[in-house]
Structure formats: C-alpha cells, structure tokens
C-alpha cells in the first residue's frame, strides 16, 4: 500500500462496497437460500421469510437470483476486462516502444475499430455468432481492448522518451525487457485506475446486452437480464426490476470511488514529474 495514496472515507466506502459484492458473488451457493430457477411463490409476491426481496415475474426468489446473478456478472465482466488488458496493454506498449510503421499500423487499426459504435458492433456480432459466455466475453474483451490500447500507448509514449528508457536502449536491452522492466512498473498506477474504469464499463455493457436479449441467456441470469425479466412489473407498481438496477448502480459507484482514490497517485506522480 506504500505506492498508493492514503485511504479517504469515500475510498473506504468504495472498497467496502466492492468487497461486499465480491463476497456475495464468491459465496453465492451458501448465501442464496434457493436454487436460481426454483419457483417459491406467486408472481411478484411481496418480501417474506421465503423470499427476502419478494418474487420475480414467475415466482422465483428475487434475492437468490440477485446473488447468483452477481456471480455471473462479476465473472463475465472480470474475464472480459482481464483479456482486454492483456491485449490492449501488450499492443499499446509494443506500439510505443517500436515506433515507426509498427506504431502507425496498430494505431490506425485501433482507430478503425473505435470508429464503429460499440453497441452496434456487439449487436451485429452476437446476432450472428452463438450466444454463449465464451463468445460474449471475447466480444466484450475485443471492444474494451481498443480503449485500453489507446490509454496504454499514450502512457508508454510519455515514458519511452525518458532518460532511463534511453539508457536501457543504449545498453542493448530488447523491446520486451524495456516493456516489462522499465515501462510497466512506472505505468502501473494509471493502468490500475483504468482497470477499475474498464471493469465498471464492462458491467454496464454486459447489463445492456442482457437487457436487449443478446447477453446472458436463460436459465442463467445476470443483473441485466433480471431487469429485463421484471420490467413489466413497473406498470403495476411492482419494483422488482429496480432491485437489480440498484445493485448495478451501487457497484459501479463503489468501483468509481476506488478509481478516484487510485487516480490521486497518478495526479501526484504527474505533479512530481513537472516539479522535477
């Protein structure tokens, strides 16, 4: 923790919220009182001892589906974000270190991908390919990688001209060594902040796709599909759709609070560099 700024009250709230959701997802089999597809009551029943948050559109326990949905949402968003960072950071650093035509080709291809609206791209691809978790993760990771590439390349391009990198070049170090040993440690703080932002956007994007029917498919449920299943209840004054929507909002807010805290380190590093 010595490389991070001091914890603030808002950062503590964010960390506590993210930790609570992680526990909810990790221990879903023990925390959920019912299986994800078990019918325990009538349609949109009020909260009771058997259904802590009431029931959904066909009488399933909404709390159990929310807990199981947390595991699915976290898993898909985390996998997509991890793959996106592996691809985006590697190519972004490579483009900045190699420069020249390599940088131009990778940057223009990335610009081409970013010119396509993400939601339209995802809808077209998912409408053609099989709707399973592997395809969903790969599509989300591909779209997120374009954003990560741009950020990581900008960070690496700022670092690659510094004296210690030039010294490494003069020593004859390979571009792999420079990327891993010189650039990555000094880019870690802003990249961690970007990781948090990408994870939050992945959750929102996954929820959007599921709400449109091209994300997680039944009988598996994530938070976006829970909103879709129960949206008709709003016409009858039933707020079952708002519960998973609130879970999405609270998680994204908590992640952003943590990101804001981590960005303080990036700001302080930039200030120190300018003062130096």
- pLDDT one-digit tens code per residue, 105-126: 999 999 999 888 888 888 888 8
Q: Please indicate, yes or no, if residue 163 is contained in any of the structural domains.
A: yes
pLDDT at 7: 78
Q: Please indicate, yes or no, if residue 231 is contained in any of the structural domains.
A: yes
- pLDDT one-digit tens code per residue, 219-273: 888 899 999 989 888 888 788 889 999 999 999 999 999 888 877 765 444 433 3
* Structure tokens that stand for 12 in this block: 């503590």
Q: Please indicate, yes or no, if residue 2 is contained in any of the structural domains.
A: no
Q: Please indicate, yes or no, if residue 71 is contained in any of the structural domains.
A: yes
Q: CATH code at 158?
A: 1.10.3720.10
Cα dist from 39 to 32, 34, 44, 231, 245, whole Å:
14, 9, 11, 19, 22
Q: Are 248 and 223 in contact (CB under 8 A)?
A: yes
Q: How many domains does the chain have?
A: 1
Q: Please indicate, yes or no, if residue 4 is contained in any of the structural domains.
A: no
Host domain of residue 19: 9-42+51-275
- pLDDT one-digit tens code per residue, 38-49: 888 888 888 888
Cα dist from 140 to 53, 87, 137, whole Å:
31, 12, 5
Q: Please indicate, yes or no, if residue 155 is contained in any of the structural domains.
A: yes
Q: Please indicate, yes or no, if residue 259 is contained in any of the structural domains.
A: yes
Mean of all residue pLDDT scores within the chain: 85
User: Which stretch, 72-76, 131-135, 158-162, 268-272, has highest mean pLDDT?
Assistant: 72-76
Lowest mean pLDDT: which of 69-78, 167-176, 220-229, 244-253? 167-176
Helix, coil or strand: residue 55: strand
Degrees to nearest 5, angle at CA 226 with 223 and 228: 115
Q: Please indicate, yes or no, if residue 265 is contained in any of the structural domains.
A: yes
């Amino acid at each position: 923790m010595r490389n991070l700024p001091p914890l603030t009250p808002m950062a503590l709230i964010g960390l506590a919220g993210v930790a609570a959701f992680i526990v909810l997802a990790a221990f879903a089999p023990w925390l959920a009182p019912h299986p994800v597809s078990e019918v325990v009551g009538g349609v949109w029943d009020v909260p009771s001892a058997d259904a802590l948050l009431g029931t959904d559109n066909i009488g399933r326990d909404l709390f159990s589906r929310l807990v199981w949905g947390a595991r699915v949402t976290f898993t898909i968003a985390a996998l997509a974000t991890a793959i996106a960072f592996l691809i985006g950071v590697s190519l972004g650093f490579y483009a900045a270190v190699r420069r020249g035509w390599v940088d131009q080709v990778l940057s223009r291809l990335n610009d081409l991908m970013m010119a396509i609206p993400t939601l339209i791209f995802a809808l077209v691809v998912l409408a053609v390919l099989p709707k399973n978790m592997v395809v969903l993760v790969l599509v989300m990771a591909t779209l997120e990688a374009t954003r990560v590439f741009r950020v990581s390349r900008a960070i690496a391009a700022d670092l690659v001209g510094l004296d210690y990198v030039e010294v490494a070049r003069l020593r004859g170090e390979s571009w792999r060594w420079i990327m891993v040993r010189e650039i990555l440690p000094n880019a870690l703080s802003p990249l961690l902040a970007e990781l948090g932002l990408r994870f939050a956007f992945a959750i929102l994007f996954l929820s959007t796709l599921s709400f449109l029917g091209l994300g997680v498919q039944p009988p598996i449920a994530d938070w976006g599909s829970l909103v879709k299943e129960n949206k008709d209840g709003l016409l009858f004054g039933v707020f079952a759709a708002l519960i998973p929507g609130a879970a999405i909002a609270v998680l994204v807010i908590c992640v952003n609070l943590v990101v804001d805290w981590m960005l303080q380190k990036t700001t302080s590093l930039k200030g120190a560099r300018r003062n130096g």
